[in-house]
Amino acid sequence: MPAKRKAADLPTEEKKMWGGRFTGKVDPVMEAFNSSIGEDKVLWKVDLEGSRGYSHALERAKVLTKEEGKAIRAGLEQVGAEWATGTFEIKEADEDIHMANERRLTELAGAPGGKIHTARSRNDQVATDVRLWLRAEGHEQLALLAGLLTVCSERARAEVDALMPGYTHLQRAQPIRWAHWVMAHCSSFRRDAERLTQAIARANVMPLGSGALAGNPFAINREALAKDLGFSAPMSNSLDGVTDRDFILEFSSWATMLMVHLSKFAEDLIVFGTAEFGFISYADAYSTGSSLMPQKKNPDALELLRGKCARVIGNHTTLLTMMKGLPTAYNKDMQEDKRALFDTAATTRAALQIAAGVLSTLTISRERMRAALSPPLLATDLSDYLVRKGMPFREAHHVVGSAVKLAEEKRCEISELELADYRKLSALFDKDVAEVWDYDLAAERRDETGGTSKRAVLEQVSRMEAFIKAEMPL
């Protein structure tokens, strides 16, 4: 039986950077099970960024000479160029992006490359990489959110005069402006922008220098290192530095809430686009046809926004379940965070663009919207009429309910009752009751902040425009 080869005798591509105390070969199934390079290779740029910053820290600690630091940074530039041009070759022993980059750096820079991992663990390295990646990703998503908010504001301002029914329980309720509906969703998206901004700020602290769990034994000056890498500060506890994944959970939670908002937005537009409503029509760019029925124009973009919401919720559940009950410090379970995180980020990135595209290209039918208005939507206005004449609201509500019943008995609209009919119910009714049945006036009466009057809606738009200009990246 042939003797087992020692790790030192193995070809370079078969060596493991953690393999000094191991002599046996790893089961190939375990090899694939353990590897994350397929998912985390997207971190190549931030991994190199972290290593560049750490090389300066090691110079400060006199672990590296200036010449060694320069050689390492020159090697890192070459590694980055290979990734950028698609020529980087992943080897069998490259379990993850960190090992792949370090292996290639050592091939290019020689002995100095072997010093870059001094007092650094993959535990603090991966936590740093993901924070760097998430910081950049978060700003990209904010820019996409700014685009959606801008489309909402522009659409609302341009179409502020269009009236439509507002709905509760999917039943016609009161007249509102189409722009009021747009700004309702825009308000949700603004909160999403505010939450993401806060999440980015909380993620922007540095784990690097935490080591495997106990901290760094060299004078690397973590405050200076944090500044070099654009972090607000180093994390204050090394155990927390390698354990914490709150920043991933918070981004995932943000994404889940965003997708719920987009799903609700999509559902409204799907309903509004049915033949039964006919309030809107979709652009061809965001619709598909039927393989059987040539007349069909399906809102697939909106239906996929609904469907992909479930996907992001599933990813969030995966992350929460993964972190539940782990013992403190790094555990290999945490490797599974990246697949869910990257998929969620890609999904929300696309969803924001699709939502903005659908809204910016759809066409509204002012005629169908107004035709859907009917006198029963003004029943509350009839109650308000009586309240303005001194009747308590509860009594007015009862009187108007009797008027609704009377109109049903006479098989007419409530607005078609005679003045004599109204006066049988209350002596407060007079000729001016006819003014109640004007849909535009009904909307204009809702003129308080947040209401559906033209002034109030345009005020919402102006405030949103100011927020976008002051707070959002464009």
The model's pLDDT over 109-158, given as tens digits with 9 standing for 90+, comes to 999 999 999 999 999 999 999 999 999 999 999 999 999 999 999 999 99
In this structure, the number of other CB atoms found within 10 A of the CB of residue 388 comes to: 10
**Phi, psi values for residue 29, rounded to 5°:** -65, -40
Domain containing 254 equals: 122-220+229-371
What pLDDT, on the 0 to 100 scale, is given for residue 112?
94
| Confidence at 11, pLDDT banded by 50, 70, 90 | very low
Does 383 have pLDDT greater than 80?
A: yes
List residues with catalytic annotation: 169, 290
Least confident of 70-74, 135-139, 298-302: 298-302
Predicted TM-score (pTM) of the model is: 0.90
Instruction: Find all residues with CB under 8 Å of 26, minimum gap 6, and list them.
Output: 16, 34
Whether residue 465 is contained in a domain is answered as no
Strands of 230-298, DSSP E: 233-234, 280-281
Asked if pLDDT for residue 1 goes beyond 70, the answer is no
Phi then psi for residue 206, to 5 deg, are -105, 120
- When pLDDT is averaged across residues 354-381 and rounded to a whole number, the result is 97
- Comparing 32 with 281, which gets the higher pLDDT? 281
Asked if residue 181 is part of any domain, the answer here is: yes
- State how far the Cα of 176 lies from the Cα of 164, in Å rounded to an integer: 6
Residue 328 and residue 260 share a domain: yes
- 251 and 352 inside one domain: yes
Q: What is the DSSP string of 66-89?
A: HHHHHHHHHHHHHHHHHHHHT---
Do residues 332 and 425 share a domain? no
Residue 289: predicted pLDDT? 73
Return d(Cα 133, Cα 129) in angstroms, integer. Answer: 6
Q: Averaged over 167-196, what is the pLDDT?
A: 98
What is the count of structural domains for the chain?
A: 3
Give the residue-averaged pLDDT of 80-95: 95
171 part of a folded domain:
yes
| CB-CB contact of 258 with 192 (8 Å) | yes
CB 185 within 8 A of CB 152: yes
- Residues 294, 385 share a domain: no
Flag whether pLDDT at 3 surpasses 50: no
242 and 260 together in one domain:
yes
Q: Are 225 and 315 in contact (CB under 8 A)?
A: no
Q: Is it the case that residue 28 has pLDDT exceeding 90? A: no
The answer to whether residue 396 scores a pLDDT higher than 70 is yes
Question: Is the same domain home to 144 and 241?
Answer: yes
In a domain, 168, yes or no: yes
Residue 327 falls within a domain, yes or no? yes
107, 174, 258, 263, 412 from 187: Cα distances, Å = 53, 20, 12, 15, 39
332: number of Cβ within 10 Å? 8
Give the pLDDT confidence of 217-232 residue by residue, as tens digits. Answer: 999 999 999 999 999 9
Mean pLDDT along residues 366-371: 98
2 burial type by CB count under 10 A (0-12 exposed, 13-18 middle, 19+ buried): exposed
Which of 28-32, 89-93, 204-208 is most confident? 204-208
Say if residue 403 is in the same domain as residue 351. Answer: no
422-461 pLDDT, tens per residue? 999 999 999 999 999 999 999 999 999 999 999 999 999 9
Contact 385, 436 (CB under 8 A): yes
**Tokens at residue 16, please?**
């493991």
In a domain, 466, yes or no: no
Q: Looking at the predicted structure, is the pLDDT value of residue 6 above 80? A: no
* Residue 306 covered by a domain: yes
Note the pLDDT of residue 433: 96
